Amino acid sequence: MEEREDPLERLERKEREKKENSGLKTVMYALIAVAVLLVAALIYVTSTKNKLVGELNSEKQDLTEQILALQADYEGLSSEYDTINSQLDSSREEIAQLVEKVKKTEATNRAKIRSYEKELGTLRSIMRGYISQIDSLNTLNHKLTAEAASARREAASAKRQNEELAQQVEELSGRVTVGSVIKARGIRMEAHTSADKTTDRSNRVTRLLVNLSLVENELAQRGPVEVFVRVFDPDGNLLSDGKGTTFTLGDETLEATASREVDYQGTEVDLGIYVNNIPAFVKGIYTVQAYTSTSLLGSAELLLR
């Protein structure tokens, strides 16, 4: 005879099954919710990454276009002076190398991209220096040519002055192609940490280093030459290392941030001038101007972040 299930036991069994089914549903809904959240998070991360990569690629493209534009500017720059042409060829080679380095560098390598931006800024400053030199020499060329023509006319009108005037014409003609004033190239400024490493972070800078080269000039006077630098902060204030160095340019006495004396014998001289004892540095663009006691050699800029 088949044993009948007790009604109370059957009711308790159904209650247990109902609770077990309810618990499984709760777990299932929780797992579904977690899966939805994970998918949403993955989509957000992927979207953010793609957006960042896109922005970095755009920055790299913009940098490449700026370098190519500067390269075109350098190609269009020419001079009648062999020394400047040699310097232009060197700078053109630097730009060509910079173009290749940017092409081979991933846009996500932000450190190198920032380094290339600094190189671009340096090459722009160098180009401005070339343009200034060419303009100055062209002006001198025109002036000396006019003076030579006047001297020739005077020589034709007075035989007794012919020998003296002929010598003046020869001297002036020789000065047309090469000026006697010392010039410089490659002026640039770097920021250094206390460990003497370069940096562009204003809060890590302890001193500045200004590098430049006095170019070859056979007509320039030989002997000691003192090079002065005037460094201005982003607000246009002149920095001072506390030594109170001054120099005279024309009729004006100027205060220098720092200076260094070198032995110039008509051949190219590379030198660096440190700027020490500056209490603090702020974010922005710092400007340096380099001088001798007879002329402005050029200028450069440095961006601190």
Start-end of H helices in the chain: 7-75, 82-104, 110-157, 162-177
86: pLDDT strictly greater than 70: yes
Pairing label, strands 223-232, 258-264: antiparallel
Q: Identify which has the larger pLDDT, 165 or 47.
A: 165
Q: Three-state SS string across 130-189, please?
A: HHHHHHHHHHHHHHHHHHHHHHHHHHHHCHHHHHHHHHHHHHHHHHHHCCCCCCEEEEEE
Mean pLDDT of 8-24: 72
Mean pLDDT of 39-51: 59
pLDDT, tens digit (0-9, with 9 covering 90-100), for 160-186: 676 777 677 566 555 544 567 899 999
pLDDT band at 200; cut points 50, 70, 90: very high
8: pLDDT strictly greater than 50: yes
For the entire predicted model, the pTM comes to 0.45
Q: Give the pLDDT score at 176.
A: 47
- Helices 162-177 and 110-157 sit at what angle, rounded to 10 degrees? 170
pLDDT band at 51; cut points 50, 70, 90: low
pLDDT band at 95; cut points 50, 70, 90: confident
CATH architecture of 181-305: Sandwich (2.60)
* Neighbour tally for 222: CB within 10 Å: 10
217: pLDDT strictly greater than 70: yes
Across the chain, what does the average pLDDT equal? 81
Mean pLDDT of 9-34: 73
Q: Give the pLDDT score at 177.
A: 42
